[in-house]
Amino acid sequence: MCIVGLSVHRVRTGSAPASVALGIMGDPGFTAYCGLLEVAHIRQGETVLVSAAGGPVGAMAGQIARIKGCKVIGIAASREQSEWCVREAHFHACIDERAEPLEERLRQLAPKGVDALFDSPGGEVVNAIISGDHLSLTGRVVRCIPNGASPMSTAVRVLHVDISAHEQRREAFFKDVIAWFAEGHLRYREDVVEGLRNAPTHFCRVMRGESFGRALIKA
């Protein structure tokens, strides 16, 4: 069973392994689902930019946007993550923020601007996109960080994701993601270590940005 706030729901993963209940079919996936479909209301043909695309929330957000007919551009923390997003998760493109000029690449990939920016980590990347005028006229920023700092520009439409406000959509989420996985539309990565004794070290790797995929401990 998984605890969600004060409620309890049964783990359902369809044909996927049970571990995805902590990833694409758990709260990371539900955050991406609600943020794009219930908050940003993305539409077919729009361009969606996803920061932290190699993480569990960002990777799911990009795949949902692709399934809904959007052009998906990711921003990832390494070449390995960037290549995985394109090769496995089928993003249209993914920028390696440590090796490529972000703004120059965005102008090439989205010359008319980005319609929705899905952001989970926040920080300098988001401010660079906003200050660089990379959003379209109808562009909006979806934030996953509770009480996170607002972007520099007050003219930008910023939307916040609170999955507790969308709990009534949980059943629709399960129905959709189980079907999408069965149809081969979803990919995921897990970074698993053995033994609780390794949990502190694993946690530190995550905080340093060295983990790739959903970080899990196998007891």
Give a yes or no: residue 8 inside a domain.
Answer: no
pTM summary value? 0.89
Q: What range does the domain containing 63 cover?
A: 16-188
Give, for 9, the enclosing helix (H) or strand (E): strand 7-9
Angstrom distances, CA of residue 115 to CA of 103, 136, 205? 16, 5, 33
The verdict on residue 84 lying in a domain is: yes
Could you tell me if residue 98 is inside a domain? yes
User: From CA 17, how far away is CA 122, in angstroms rounded?
Assistant: 31
User: Count of CB atoms within 10 A of residue 148's CB?
Assistant: 16
Looking at the structure, do residues 104 and 71 belong to the same domain, yes or no?
yes
CA diameter of the chain: 51
Same domain (yes/no): 193, 174: no
Radius of gyration of the chain (CA): 17
What pLDDT sits at residue 150?
Answer: 57
- Is residue 9 assigned to a domain? no
Same structural domain for residues 102 and 205? Answer: no
Work out how many domains the chain is built from and give that number: 2
Per residue in 136-168, pLDDT (tens digit) is 998 999 998 765 555 555 567 889 999 999 999
100-114 as b/e: b if 16+ CB within 10 A: eebeebbeebbeebb
The CA distance from 208 to 200, in Å, is 12
Distances (CA, A) of 165 to 3, 79, 101, 144, 160: 16, 36, 37, 13, 11
Q: Do residues 30 and 96 share a domain? A: yes
Which pLDDT belongs to residue 1?
45
Same domain for 78 and 136, yes or no, is yes
Clarify whether residues 122 and 183 are in a common domain. Answer: yes
Q: Tens of pLDDT along 90-145? A: 999 999 999 999 999 999 999 999 999 999 876 678 888 888 889 999 899 999 87
Q: Please give the full DSSP string across 98-152, using - where no structure is assigned.
A: TTS-HHHHHHHH-TT-EEEEEESS-SHHHHHHHHTT-EEEEEEEEE-STTPPPPS
> In this predicted structure, what is the pLDDT of residue 108?
96
**Any idea what the CATH number is for the domain that residue 22 is in?**
3.40.50.720
Q: Residue 4 falls within a domain, yes or no? A: no
Same domain? For 119 and 176 the reply is yes
Distance CA 65, CA 72 (A): 7
